[in-house]
Structure 1
Amino acid sequence: MRTSPGWMKVGVGRVAALGLLGALLLPLVGLALAISPAELWAGVQDARFGPALLLSLRTSLLSLGVVVAGGLPLAWWLARSRSRIARLVEVLVDLPLVLPPAVVGVGLLMAYGRRGLLGGVLESVGVSLPFTSAAVVVAQVVVAAPFFVQAAATAFRSVREEQLLVAQTLGASRAEAIWRVAVPAALPGLVAGASLAWARALGEFGATLIFAGSLPGITQTMPIAIYAALERDVSLAVTFALALAAIATVILLALRLGPGRGVGAGLRRGRR
């Protein structure tokens, strides 16, 4: 009798865990069962499918390149600096994670729109950013960058300073030591962060819709195409959603089974 409350707690915990797992998986099951293979094939052949998919892939890969190029040095500084400024910057970098995408989109308009902070400067050189493919990339960079910077900074913190000093005593400069020692040592974490950032950029919707609009072939990415298709053809929207879900699944499988598989072990070793 004394042990029954413990067993009851375990049982309740299992039910709660299974309930949460079901809540996570049920939407995917609903998507998979929503249309027939024939409807799925017809959706893939739709004239709107190819342009939206190619635009999403092109802009997300371009934004990933921007995120990695700027995120590597930023993450290294955040990992190595112990100043209060670095901690403040870290909070600011993470801010897009908690802001609603609509807030990010309006903020981008206020920064780069015609009446925004940089709108006049951009217009003076003949650049109009909102409602262009470039605006899609900017929105994706803003929402995806925190995922890479977080993961990269965590991975860089596992690199011991002694490793860099050894490389420098062998004649390498500080920059060469970072590139040849720190980056390879942190590679699993960098790959994981890049994968998550790419997935986030690929699925970006709210900020892109507000800042770039929904122009087919120009700014209408797959998530926006799903929203547009829901008003006219639910089967087409489901096809687009299944395509994005399949891509996300591939990214996660590559992350778990590829180089990113060793992220957790690498970080644990770094903390010892």
Structure 2
Amino acid sequence: MPTPSHTLKDKVVVIGGASRNLGSLIAKEVAPEGAKVVVHYNSPSSKDGAEKTAAEVEAAGGKAIVHGADLTKVPGIEGLFDAAVAAFGKVDCVVNTAGMVIKKPMTETSEEEFDKMFAVNCKAAYFMMREAAKRVQDGGKIVTIVTSLLAAYTGLYSVYAGSKAPVEHFTRALSKELFGRNISVNNIAPGPMDTGFFYPAETDDSIAYHKSSAMNGDLTKIEDIAPYVKFLLTDGWWLNGQTLFINGGYTTR
């Protein structure tokens, strides 16, 4: 069994949802280490952002390709990994940041909204992990971004937090199934993040409440999260089957 490598030099990192926000930052953070990054984007409107991210990865010393795919469809996920192997010959690390949020009472949630949320937050996460398990080299890493609301007692996020919750068990199960290959599988659960992903679902009052719930009276920044992802991909390899709540005390468990 190979000893896990704690460097990202020449490692191939597939990042789901890397055209902007946290996914883009993670791509740029691993680039100076000499990583080879597969920058995924979901829709044509995100392609420019993905190409900009890839250019910044290259400028920082890494290598990058861009690949568009609908991660709610298994062939899309398989195609993403095919593209990684075609470009770089292997896959070492997978980071899935893709997600979608809806905030509304359960009584107002439509079947269509339920299905869409579970497709993005649950199904896509499951099959990204499944494909990663098939493709990642021994000694590799698999990381999924979930939400700190998994440890919250709150209403209005039933279908958002509910569609993220199964990922915790997927992670425990897969991490156990991969024993013997030195592949770690973990989640990071950020607090509400200061990105365009967060604000459309919130009001001024709820934003103020979310800010007041963390130790510095502010939202989580993507810059707060990226170093922990990089840690899990390198020196944090001995963490396995865990969900890390990186949120300034917003919720604890």
Q: Same fold (TM over 0.5)?
A: no
- Larger RCO (CA within 8 A; separation ≥ 6): 1
Q: TM-score range by the shorter chain?
A: under 0.3
Structure whose CA Rg is larger: 1
Structure having the larger proportion of residues in helix = 1
Question: Normalising to structure 1: TM-score of the pair?
Answer: 0.26
TM-score, normalised with respect to structure 2? 0.28
